[in-house]
């Protein structure tokens, strides 16, 4: 019997269309079925969703990553939350492994929306009583939610992946000062030094790296683990890896929680011969294999979400699985 099994008569797990493989992995971890959901599109292009099992007086978990097409998948999620709440669910949990709107976390130009806050409000309005996600772009996004929200981390399982390796002459590099704390926590797990680059963003695809990083690594390290929350276009990571390569680092491993890899990101990384491996998780569906010279390692996060859901359901602490802080737990 699965030690994490919960009462399948009391729990319903549903998936949107963005990442059914991850939803199935979470359901398997908990030993409960992934219930069917019917998706239809009307002739006027409106979406209709029907949950395939009764949710009345049950704890409902709806799993949906906000990946492309983001607006479509967000609308699906809102509809599913509304269905569960309207059908008398005891609790409605929005499980969002990748909360893409977390990058829209501040008003840094006139007449724009803080969309991370807007979407958080929409989730509560639609009926969610609890939100669970992983590694938000910035800590303040957590405060945008008006319902209890758990922000989990993949730092522990990624750290476990590297613990068996020889990490002599290795440094952990944060792409910018804003992500220095998570990188420092990761470095502390592996007993490695950490350096934060000084980055200026020119556009969504272009950044400028100051000379500070070059001075810190020049001919000092053989390997660098570039630790970030997300790789999308790859602009930041590519520029940082170029600086590292020019200054004597021969083995570069970019690491991220959310491997979005939009556009030609993987091809851009593949043009840097010092990149030997890219490590990510499956909070978004992994990309199809490409002809890149490096190894792409994808670490599953279903056990983390499954464990957090089980502890939430059984009223146990999940503090050791949180994104913030140094007290992380090793999972079997």
CATH of the domain at 99: 3.40.50.2020
Domain-located, residue 135: yes
Cα distance between residue 174 and residue 169, in whole Å: 17
pLDDT at res. 134: 97
pLDDT digits (tens, 9 = 90+) for 111-130: 999 999 999 999 999 999 99
Domain assignment of residue 170, given as a range:
155-299
Q: What is the pLDDT of residue 37?
A: 98
Does one domain contain both 162 and 286? yes
Confidence of residue 200 (pLDDT cuts 50, 70, 90): low
CB 71 within 8 A of CB 16: no
117 and 33 share a domain? yes
Residues 6+ apart with CB under 8 A from 93: 59, 60, 61, 62, 128, 129, 130, 131, 132, 309, 312
Question: How far is the C-alpha of 198 from the C-alpha of 156, rounded, in Å?
Answer: 26
Indicate whether 64 belongs to any domain: yes
**268 and 164 housed in the same domain:** yes
Whether 268 and 192 share a structural domain: yes
Query: Would you say residue 142 lies in a domain?
Result: yes
Which residues lie closer than 8 Å to 331 by C-beta, 6 or more apart?
Answer: 156, 157, 303, 304, 307
Does 136 share its domain with 236? no
Has residue 324 got a pLDDT over 50? yes
The whole-chain average pLDDT of the chain stands at 91
pTM: 0.92
Structure confidence at residue 290 as a pLDDT band (50, 70, 90): confident
Both structure tokens of 144: 């945008």
SS3 26: helix
In a domain, 290, yes or no: yes
The answer on 167 and 131 residing in a single domain is no
Residues 278 and 312 in one domain: no
Q: Are residues 193 and 277 in the same domain?
A: yes
**29-51 average pLDDT score:** 95
Please give the pLDDT value at position 114.
94
Q: Is the domain of 59 the same as that of 81? A: yes
Domain count within the chain: 2
Residues that are catalytic: 199
Judge if 209 and 136 occupy the same domain: no
User: What would the pLDDT profile of 152-199 be if each residue is shown by its tens digit?
Assistant: 999 999 999 999 899 999 999 998 887 889 999 999 999 999 998 876
293, part of any domain: yes
Kindly state whether residue 237 falls inside one of the protein's structural domains. yes
Check whether 331 has a pLDDT greater than 70. Answer: no
Residue 331 domain-assigned (yes or no)? no
| Range in 7-11, 24-28, 320-324 with the lowest mean pLDDT | 320-324
Q: What angle do CA 13, 18, 23 make, to 5 degrees?
A: 30
| Distance between first and last Cα of the chain | 16
Residue 1 inside a domain? The answer is: no
Specify whether 187 is located in the same domain as 163.
Answer: yes
List the structure tokens of 294: 């490096």
Q: Are residues 226 and 208 in the same domain?
A: yes
DSSP state of 326: S
């Amino acid at each position: 019997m699965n030690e994490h099994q919960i009462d399948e008569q009391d729990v319903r797990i549903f998936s949107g269309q963005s990442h059914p493989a991850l939803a199935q992995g979470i359901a398997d971890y908990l030993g409960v079925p992934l219930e069917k959901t019917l998706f239809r599109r009307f002739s006027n292009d409106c979406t209709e969703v029907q949950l395939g099992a009764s949710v009345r007086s049950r704890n409902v978990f709806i799993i949906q990553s906000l990946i492309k097409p983001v607006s479509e998948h967000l609308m699906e999620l809102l509809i599913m939350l509304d269905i569960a709440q309207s059908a008398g669910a005891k609790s409605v949990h929005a499980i969002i492994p990748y909360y893409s709107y977390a990058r829209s976390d501040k008003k840094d130009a006139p007449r724009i929306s803080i969309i991370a806050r807007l979407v958080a409000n929409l989730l509560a309005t639609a009926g969610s009583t609890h939100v669970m996600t992983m590694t938000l772009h910035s800590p303040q996004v957590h405060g945008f939610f008006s319902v209890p929200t758990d922000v989990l981390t993949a730092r522990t399982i990624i750290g476990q992946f590297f613990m068996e390796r020889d990490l002599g002459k290795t440094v952990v590099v944060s792409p910018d000062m804003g992500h220095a704390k998570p990188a420092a926590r990761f470095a502390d797990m592996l007993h490695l030094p950490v350096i934060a680059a000084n980055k200026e963003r020119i556009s969504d695809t272009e950044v400028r790296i100051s000379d500070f990083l070059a001075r810190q690594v020049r001919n000092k390290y053989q390997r660098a683990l570039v630790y970030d929350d997300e790789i999308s276009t790859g602009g930041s990571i590519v520029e940082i890896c170029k600086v590292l390569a020019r200054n004597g680092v021969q083995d570069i491993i970019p690491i991220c929680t959310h491997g979005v890899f939009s556009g030609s990101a993987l091809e851009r990384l593949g043009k840097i011969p010092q990149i030997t491996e890219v490590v990510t998780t499956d909070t978004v569906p992994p990309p199809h294999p490409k002809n890149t010279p490096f190894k792409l390692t994808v670490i599953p996060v279903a056990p983390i979400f499954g464990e957090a859901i089980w502890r939430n359901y059984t009223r146990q602490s999940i503090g050791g699985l949180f994104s913030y802080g140094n007290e992380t737990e090793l999972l079997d």
